[in-house]
Chains A and B, each alone.
Chain A
C-alpha cells in the first residue's frame, strides 16, 4: 500500500511537471515555419497555427497567422516576435526555416549557427530553404498559410533537395541551399540550388543539376531529369538511381571513379511518352548529357576551399597519407582525378 502511494505521488508530481500547468493548448500558438531576413535590422516572421479547442470537436478550429518582430540581432528579432503575441509560442513542432534574399547574401550561416545552438527555437532537423520573398511579401501568405505548408510537404514527398539546419553550421561554411520561388496563394516552386563555399554564394544550379546534386548528397528516390535531345526538351524519369564510388590507387596518386547506375523508367517529350525502342536510341545521348552536366558541376563543387560533396573523404578513406600528400602537392583537387560515368539502362 505504501509503495502504491509512493508511485501515485510520483505520477502526480510528473503530471505537475509536464509543461501544461502554466498554459493550456488553447493558449499556445504552434510555430510551423520561421522566416528570417535582414535589411537594416533582422526580421523574424513566425507562421503559427492557432488552435481553438472546443468540447464539441466540430467547433474546434485551426487558423494560421504571422507574428513578426525586428531587432538588431536575431535573438532580439525572435524575442520581439514572441512578445508581439499574448500566447505562448511553442517551437517544438517546427521543422521549416526560410531564409530571405538579403540574409542569403550575408549572415545566413551565423543565423543558422544561432538557431542550432538555441535549443528552444531551433531544431537540427529543420529543413532550410532560401525564399525569394521579402518580409512584406511573406506577410501576404497569412491567409494561405495552410496551402503554403501543404505545398512544402508535397515538395518534400516528391523528393525535392533537402538541407537540414545541422548541415549549415559547418565551420567551412560550405553548403547547398535549395531555393523556392513563392507565388500567389501559397504556391511554391523549386527555383534551384545555391552553392555556398567559404560562406559566399558561388553558383546557382538549376534543372537536372539539382537532381544530380541530390544523388551526390545521398538523397535517393525517383529523379526527374530535364534534358535536351536534338534541342527538344525531354523529361527522363530514373528508377533507383545510385552512385558507386571506387577509388583506384597507384604509386603516386589516386583516381576516384564514380558510376551512375539505375534505370530509365520513362522519357517524356513534347508529344508524350517515348516508346522503348526510341528510348534505347536516345540512351547514349542521355548518358553523355548527364556526364557533361556532372563535369560542369564538379568544376565548382570539387574545390579545396569548398568540397561540396565531401569527395576528399572518399580519397582519404582509401589512403589517408597519400591523399594528404596529394593535397599538399596541389594534386588532389584536380578534375582529372575524378572520372564520372553514367551507365543508365532502359527498364
Chain B
C-alpha cells in the first residue's frame, strides 16, 4: 500500500465524491418506509449538503489530534469496519435485486474481497485515479439514462405540495445521515498536511446536491405516482429506458454503479488497513487487510438480515460520538508522530 500522503487534494475530492455518490445510486433497503417526493427530497438534500459542508468546515478548523492516538485510530477503524459491513450488505442486496441470475452470497463476497484486496494494495493514489475514471463513466451512464427516458418524462407527474415543516422533518429524518467519508476526508487531509490548500469540498457537496436533485426529478417525472413505491427508483427508470434497439441499458448502468460501490468499499478497507498498520506497525504487509476482511465477514454474518437497523443506529451513533470528540479542544501528547 502506498503512502496516502501522495494523494493531491483534488484527487482526494474526486475519490470522496465517488464514494458519497454511491449512496445516491444504491438506496438502502428497508431503512426508509418510502421514497420522499422530489420536492421534499431536493429540499432535504439541500439541507443535508449544508450540514455536510458545516461539519466538514468544523473538522477542518477544529480537528484535534485524537485520531493520532491508538485509541482514536482504533475507534475510527471500528466504525469504518461497521460502515463497510453495512455497505456490503446493501451492495449484495442491490446486486441480488438487479441480477436475474442468482449468485450465492459467498461467491459475491469472495469476488468483492478479491477486487478490494487488489484496490487496497494498489494504494490510495491509484484508487483516486480509478475513481476519476469511474466518475467519467458514471457521467456517461447518466447521459444515456437521460436520453433513454426522455420520451417518458412528464412535468405533470411532479407532485407539488405547499411547504410544511412536518413533512420536511419526516423527509429529513429518513434521509439525513452522517457519512464516514467526512471523517475520513478530514483525517486524510490532516495527515497529508494539505488542509490549508483548496480541498474542493464545497464543489463536491454542490455536485452531490445536483446529482441527487437530478435523480429525484428524473424519478418522479418518469414514474409519477408510482415513484414513491419504488425500492430502487433510479434502477426502475434505468430499466424503463431504451435507445433505439438497445433495450437492456440497465445492465450497463448497473455495472458502472457497482464499480462506484467497489470504490467506496475499497476506500473503507484501505483506511482500515492503514489504521491497523498504524496501531500495530509490526503487522506483516497484507495482514491488516486479512484482519479487516475477517472482521467484516464476522460482522456481516452477525448483522445480515437480523440486526441491520440496530447496526446502522450504532454506526451513526459512533460516527457522531467520534465527530464530537474530534472537535473537542483536546490535545494528546502521546501520538504516532
Residues of B within 8 Å of A316, CB to CB, are 160-161
Q: Does B140 sit within 8 A of A, measured CB to CB?
A: no
Is the pair A169, B226 in contact by a Cβ cutoff of 8 Å?
A: yes
Q: Which stretch of A62-70, A118-126, A177-185, A290-298 is in the interface?
A: A118-126
Please report which residues of chain A, range 110-139, place their CB below 8 angstroms from some CB of chain B when the two chains form the complex.
Answer: 119-120, 123-125
Q: Which stretch of B99-107, B174-182, B318-326 is in the interface?
A: B99-107
CB < 8 Å neighbour of A171 from B97, B98, B229: B229
Distance of A110 from chain B, by nearest CB (Å): 14
Is the pair B226, A310 in contact by a Cβ cutoff of 8 Å?
A: no
Residues of A within 8 Å of B157, CB to CB, are 310, 313
Distance of B273 from chain A, by nearest CB (Å): 18
Is the pair B100, A91 in contact by a Cβ cutoff of 8 Å?
A: yes
Please report which residues of chain B, range 226-244, place their CB below 8 angstroms from some CB of chain A when the two chains form the complex.
Answer: 226, 229, 236, 239-242
Is the pair A92, B111 in contact by a Cβ cutoff of 8 Å?
A: no
Distance, CA A48 to CA B118, complexed state (A): 43
Please report which residues of chain B, range 141-183, place their CB below 8 angstroms from some CB of chain A when the two chains form the complex.
Answer: 154-162
Distance of B150 from chain A, by nearest CB (Å): 12
Residues of B within 8 Å of A324, CB to CB, are 162
Is the pair A166, B236 in contact by a Cβ cutoff of 8 Å?
A: yes
- The interface bits of chain B over 83-111 (1 if a CB of A lies within 8 angstroms of the residue's CB, else 0) are 00000000000000110110100010001
Distance, CA A267 to CA B156, complexed state (A): 32
Residues of B within 8 Å of A90, CB to CB, are 100
Residues of B within 8 Å of A123, CB to CB, are 239
- The interface bits of chain B over 48-78 (1 if a CB of A lies within 8 angstroms of the residue's CB, else 0) are 0000000000000000000000000000000
* Interface SS, B side: helix
Residues of A within 8 Å of B100, CB to CB, are 19, 90-92, 119-120
A313-B111 contact in complex given A124-B240, A171-B225, C-beta closer than 8 Å: no
Distance, CA A313 to CA B159, complexed state (A): 7
Residues of B within 8 Å of A10, CB to CB, are 115, 118
Is the pair A119, B97 in contact by a Cβ cutoff of 8 Å?
A: yes
Residues of A within 8 Å of B223, CB to CB, are 166
CB < 8 Å neighbour of B154 from A91, A119, A166, A218: A218
Nearest opposing residue in chain A for B154, CB measure:
A218
Distance, CA A75 to CA B240, complexed state (A): 23
Is the pair B103, A17 in contact by a Cβ cutoff of 8 Å?
A: yes
Residues of A within 8 Å of B226, CB to CB, are 166-167, 169-170
A17-B239 contact in complex given A91-B100, A320-B161, C-beta closer than 8 Å: no
Distance, CA A324 to CA B159, complexed state (A): 13
Residues of A within 8 Å of B225, CB to CB, are 170-172, 310
Residues of A within 8 Å of B240, CB to CB, are 124-125, 164, 166
Please report which residues of chain A, range 301-347, place their CB below 8 angstroms from some CB of chain B when the two chains form the complex.
Answer: 310, 313-314, 316-317, 320-321, 324
Residues of A within 8 Å of B236, CB to CB, are 124, 166
Nearest opposing residue in chain A for B107, CB measure:
A17
Q: Does A39 sit within 8 A of B, measured CB to CB?
A: no
Distance, CA A19 to CA B161, complexed state (A): 45
Residues of B within 8 Å of A317, CB to CB, are 155-156, 158, 160
Nearest opposing residue in chain B for A307, CB measure:
B225
Q: Does A285 sit within 8 A of B, measured CB to CB?
A: no
Distance, CA A120 to CA B239, complexed state (A): 12
Distance, CA A124 to CA B233, complexed state (A): 11
Distance of A105 from chain B, by nearest CB (Å): 22
Distance, CA A19 to CA B158, complexed state (A): 38
Q: Does B28 sit within 8 A of A, measured CB to CB?
A: no
Distance, CA A317 to CA B220, complexed state (A): 14
Is the pair B118, A313 in contact by a Cβ cutoff of 8 Å?
A: no
Q: Does B224 sit within 8 A of A, measured CB to CB?
A: yes
Q: Does B248 sit within 8 A of A, measured CB to CB?
A: yes
Q: Does A270 sit within 8 A of B, measured CB to CB?
A: no
Distance of A69 from chain B, by nearest CB (Å): 19
Distance of B171 from chain A, by nearest CB (Å): 16
What 8 A-B pairs have minimum CB-CB distances, sorted nearest first? A19-B101, A170-B225, A320-B162, A125-B240, A166-B226, A218-B154, A321-B162, A316-B160
Please name 11 pairs of A and B residues whose Cβ atoms are closer than 8 Å in the assembled complex, sorted by A: A10-B118, A19-B101, A90-B100, A92-B248, A120-B100, A124-B240, A172-B225, A245-B156, A317-B155, A320-B161, A320-B162
Which A residues are within 8 Å of any B CB, using their own CB? 6, 10, 13, 17, 19, 22, 90-93, 95, 119-120, 123-125, 164, 166-167, 169-172, 218, 245, 310, 313-314, 316-317, 320-321, 324
